[in-house]
Amino acid sequence: MNDKIESAPHEGRSFAPPATFSETAQPSAAALAALYREAAEDHSGFWARQARRNLSWKLPFTQGLDDSHPPFFKWFADGWLNASYNALDRHLDSRGDKTALIFESDEGTVQRYSYRALHAEVCRFANGLRTLGLHKGDRVVIYLPMGPQAIIAMLACARIGAIHSVVFGGFSADSLRDRIRDAGARLVITADAAPRGGRLVPLKDTVDAALAAGYDTVRQVVVYRRNGAAIAWNREHDIWWDDVVAGQLAVCEPEWVEAEFPLFLLYTSGSTGKPKGVQHSTAGYLLGAMTSMQWVFDPRPDDVFWCTADVGWITGHSYVCYGPLLNGMTQVVFEGVPTHPDPERFWRMIAAHQVSIFYTAPTAIRALMRNGDELPRRHDLGSLRLLGTVGEPINPEAWMWYHRVIGNERCPIVDTWWQTETGAAMIAPVPGVVAAKPGSCTRPLPGIAVDIVDEQGAPVTAPYEGGYLVVNKPWPSMLRTIWGDDARYEKTYFGQFGKQVYVAGDGAHRDEDGYIWILGRIDDVLNVSGHRLGTAEIESALASHPRVAEAAVVGRPHEIKGEAVLAFVVARGERHAAVADGLAAELREWVGTRIGAIAKPDEIRFVDGLPKTRSGKIMRRLLRTVGRGETITQDTSTLENEAILGQLCAAEARASAAA
């Protein structure tokens, strides 16, 4: 079995919520118990009640879950609604002047949008999109910097029933083109160029490169003028954002859509080379984003929420764009990075904007922790009352630092486990009720039927016994399919234990208190700085280089990034020549242009061959062991070429000597 299922770190410390927090927190212990009870009694009815209470419907639904064609589940299917109406319009009477967004740019300028102002911008842009000829069901790729325009673009798409697919600005032209093509996008929305961490990201140039070989389905490219950078202009296709909204009305009748109508696609890495277009529904997704926000973050009217994720990832969809707005919250939106202009940026911003709920990634915490306690202590972090983490397991040391230095030992920490596919947080402590343990995401939220099972699908009951993390019942915010590939959806997520059991791809175990501990991915997916990367994707990028015969990629523990990318490469020609003439550096750049900078291997080792079984399968587990410098304990008798092993170990010895 995979090593991710066997390992068992123990952590004994437990932190109950401070009494001052629990006294007023929602849900309270009693309310939470009632939610679990309700969900256990009637799963579909529970979610139906939540959907009636939380969402505004144009046409009410009559049925909760439709599970007549597993694993293609439907929720609230005969209801009609609109996502942007739910995020904006329904707040206008009660809190139209409330600040929705506090945007801080990379350079540090601040801009605020009230709910009314954001609504007006969304309507204008939505009317503009309609004028461009966009209709319900058209796909729109958004390749924008993190900022209000990204949110406006997403909500404007939702307003007219266009399906948005946001691509993170760090992806390369090749990756962008693949996504544009797979989605069959009619429109691309981008910016001229955007500063990030003091450097300029040439977004429009990248879009041009992505479309250089042909526009395919793309009719137009909308360009937001972020900073006036010089760009090439294609008169046939390019149009300025300002011209799209010029003269448009600040009201726009929403396109009402069926509950199951796709709200967005978001591409994510899987265990094969091709990224998957994870397809989310409208109503179910919105409900998950909304209720999880309520249960996990205890939102109050005067909170200032800050989720540091980019909208290019699912966290930015659910806890920047949709969740906070659905709940009528005020939030900080940040264009930059935590270390620019200096590693005090986060702490300075928390103090400046009086942030009360802060949600970030373990990798950022680890990076900032390295700079010591002194930097955060220079700032008044007294506005904070709740902290959160997402994206990867947090090591207890980083958790304790977050708790002690950032939370001043008075803020609960919510460690939220979820995925692009789950749409919303699934396993996380309800902060006023559930005691936290450093490194555990604790318990499933109400209405989420999580379990841990063995190879046969039988529940694992013994504490610390590892197994597959699964979800036994459909939940509203689950993905509906992989865009254009129902078969892959079925095989990837429901192929192992039947059509009712969603397999998350993570290994996990419970402790003696029933707390869940995530042990990491058990498929060939890496988690680097909280970002998902498929090993197969990086391997095929490497193998497409003319001087590479074969490549295998594995993860290796990394102090800050969580996992680092280690590539074993068989070069064409002589190995030592390859090292000498800088092929490693060239290959790193090559992967950067094929996929994006985040996928560049941290280390490349040239070898004469890869360890394979006699049937030709690469023995990744062996490579992982070697890459970690651990003693090989697995059975190597099935190795086709045992001499390779000695070479791999020698390469490892050289690498650690060099380090």
Q: How far is CA 454 from CA 183, 464, 490, 515, in A?
A: 36, 13, 20, 17
Name, in order, each residue with C-beta under 8 angstroms of 512's C-beta and a sequence gap of 6 or more: 463
393 binds ligand WTA (CB under 6 A): yes
Q: Residue 375 Cβ, how far from ligand WTA at the closest point, in Å?
A: 25
What is the smallest separation between the CB atom of 148 and ligand WTA, expressed in angstroms?
Answer: 23
Q: Return the number of the residue (366 or 521) whose C-beta is nearest ligand WTA.
A: 521
Compute the least distance from the CB of residue 407 to ligand WTA, in Å. 17
| Min dist. Cβ of residue 38 to ligand WTA (A) | 25
Q: What is the DSSP letter of 599?
A: G
Sign of the CA dihedral 145, 597, 337, 558? positive
Among 333, 413, 518, 626, binds ligand WTA (CB under 6 A): 518
Site for ligand WTA contains 492 (CB under 6 A): no
In angstroms, give the least distance from the CB of 313 to ligand WTA: 6
DSSP 8-state secondary structure symbol assigned to residue 83: H
Question: Residue 117: helix, strand or coil by DSSP?
Answer: helix
Number of H helices, E strands in the chain: 24, 30
Burial 74-113 (b: 16+ CB within 10 A, else e): bbbbebbbbbbbbbbbebeeebbeebbbbbbbbeeeeeeb
Nearer to ligand WTA, 96 or 273 (CB): 273
The residue whose Cβ lies closest to ligand WTA is 420
Cα 216 to Cα 119: distance, rounded to the nearest angstrom: 32
When the beta carbons of 202 and 467 are compared against ligand WTA, the nearer one is: 467
Q: Which of 432, 446, 505, 611 binds ligand WTA (CB under 6 A)?
A: 505
For residue 165, give Cα distances in angstroms to 150, 158, 280, 484: 11, 11, 11, 14
Residue with Cβ nearer ligand WTA (314 or 501): 314
> 417-436 mask for ligand WTA (x: CB under 6 A)?
xxxx----------------
Check binding of 390 to ligand WTA (CB under 6 A): yes
Stretch that binds ligand WTA, among 34-42, 61-69, 313-321, 620-628 (CB under 6 A): 313-321
- Does position 392 bind ligand WTA by CB under 6 A? yes
Q: Which of residues 554-613 bind ligand WTA (CB under 6 A)?
A: none
CA dist list (Å): 410 to 237, 432, 443, 651: 54, 12, 21, 48
Contact (CB, 8 A) for 53 and 76: no
End-to-end, the C-alpha distance of the chain in Å comes to 31
Nearer to ligand WTA, 163 or 519 (CB): 519
Interface with ligand WTA: number of residues (CB under 6 A): 23
Q: Which stretch binds ligand WTA (CB under 6 A): 51-59, 187-195, 307-315, 337-345?
A: 307-315
Q: How far is the CB of 576 from ligand WTA (least distance, A)?
A: 38
User: Under the criterion CB under 6 A, does residue 416 sit at the interface with ligand WTA?
Assistant: yes
Distances (CA, A) of 374 to 279, 344, 460: 44, 10, 44
Specify the stretch interacting with ligand WTA by CB under 6 A; choose among 131-139, 209-217, 321-329, 391-399.
391-399
At position 283, the amino acid (one-letter code) is: A
Measured on CA atoms in the order 348, 196, 560, 581, is the torsion positive or negative? negative
CA dist., res. 280 & res. 197, Å (int):
31
Contact between 73 and 95 (Cβ < 8 Å): no
Report yes or no: 152 and 333 within 8 Å, Cβ to Cβ: no
Query: Which residues touch 360 (CB under 8 Å, ≥6 apart)?
Result: 307, 308, 309, 346, 388, 389, 390
CA distance 366 to 60: 46
Among 50, 268, 308, 327, binds ligand WTA (CB under 6 A): 268
Nearer to ligand WTA, 163 or 504 (CB): 504
The alpha carbon of residue 493 and the mean position of all alpha carbons in its chain are separated, in whole angstroms, by 17
Q: Tell me whether residue 91 or residue 437 sits nearer to ligand WTA (CB atom).
A: 437
Judged by CB under 6 A, the stretch of 138-146, 513-521, 561-569, 622-630 that binds ligand WTA is 513-521
Indicate the helix (H) or strand (E) that contains 627: helix 620-627
Query: Considering beta carbons, is residue 201 or 441 the nearer one to ligand WTA?
Result: 441
The yes or no reply on residue 381 touching ligand WTA (CB under 6 A) is no
The answer to whether 521 contacts ligand WTA (rule: CB under 6 A) is yes
Q: If you write DSSP's letter for every residue of 341-364 in order, what string do you get?
A: S-TTHHHHHHHHHT-SEEEE-HHH
**Closer to ligand WTA by Cβ: residue 64 or 534:** 534
Tell me how far, at minimum, the Cβ of 539 lies from ligand WTA, in Å. Answer: 20
- C-alpha pair distances (Å), 218 with each of 129, 184, 191, 436: 14, 8, 16, 48
CA nearest neighbour of 164 among 120, 194, 197, 125: 125
Candidate segments 73-81, 172-180, 501-509, 618-626, binder of ligand WTA by CB under 6 A:
501-509
Interface with ligand WTA, residue 509, by CB under 6 A: no
Q: Does 507 bind ligand WTA (CB under 6 A)?
A: no
What is the distance of C-alpha 436 from the center of its chain? 23
Go through 188-201 and write b for each residue having 16 or more CB atoms within 10 A of its CB, e for each that does not: bbbbbbbbbeeeeb
- Whole-Å CA distances, 546 to 59, 477, 521, 571, 586: 57, 43, 31, 9, 12
CB of residue 92 to ligand WTA, shortest distance in Å: 31
Closest to ligand WTA by CB, 167 or 518: 518
Between 314 and 448, CB nearer to ligand WTA: 314
Mask for 220-249, x = binds ligand WTA (CB under 6 A):
------------------------------
To ligand WTA, the closest distance from the beta carbon of 366 in angstroms equals: 14
For ligand WTA, which residue of 532, 556, 588, 594 counts as binding (CB under 6 A)?
532
Q: For ligand WTA, which stretch binds (CB under 6 A), given 69-77, 326-334, 504-512, 617-625?
A: 504-512
Query: Which CB atom, from 220 or from 535, has the smaller least distance to ligand WTA?
Result: 535
Enumerate binding residues for ligand WTA (CB under 6 A): 268, 313-315, 390-393, 415-420, 441, 504-506, 518, 520-521, 527, 532
